């Protein structure tokens, strides 16, 4: 479901599977993605907090947040 558009006009949407499961939320909960805070990511904060607390996926190690990477903030 398309919810908004980013500054480049691209669609920002929620993707669900056939059973209605929010795929983005599940990826975040398992530690394989991070919320895009600028475009509605706050709704995924509980799933993100769960992943952080459980040290799952990329939270089990270290990584550069994608927004920081895009801004050129690299190690």
Q: What pLDDT, in 10s, does the model give residues 39-55?
A: 888 999 999 999 999 99
What is 7-59 written as a DSSP string?
TTS-EEE--B-TT--BHHHHHHHTTS----GGGTGGGGHHHHHHHHHHT-GGG
- Summarize the confidence of residues 61-69 as an average pLDDT: 92
Range of the domain at 36: 2-70
Has residue 28 been placed in a domain? Answer: yes
pLDDT score at 7: 87
Has residue 75 been placed in a domain? Answer: no
Has residue 36 been placed in a domain? Answer: yes
Number of domains in the chain: 1
First to last CA, the chain: 36
Measure CA 31 to chain center.
9
């Amino acid at each position: 479901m398309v919810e908004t558009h980013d500054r480049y006009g691209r669609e920002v949407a929620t993707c669900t599977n056939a059973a209605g499961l929010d795929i983005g939320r599940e990826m975040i909960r398992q530690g394989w993605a991070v919320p895009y805070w600028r475009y509605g990511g706050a709704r995924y904060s509980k799933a993100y907090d769960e992943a952080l607390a459980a040290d799952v996926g990329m939270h089990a190690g270290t990584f550069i947040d994608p927004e920081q990477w895009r801004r050129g903030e690299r190690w």
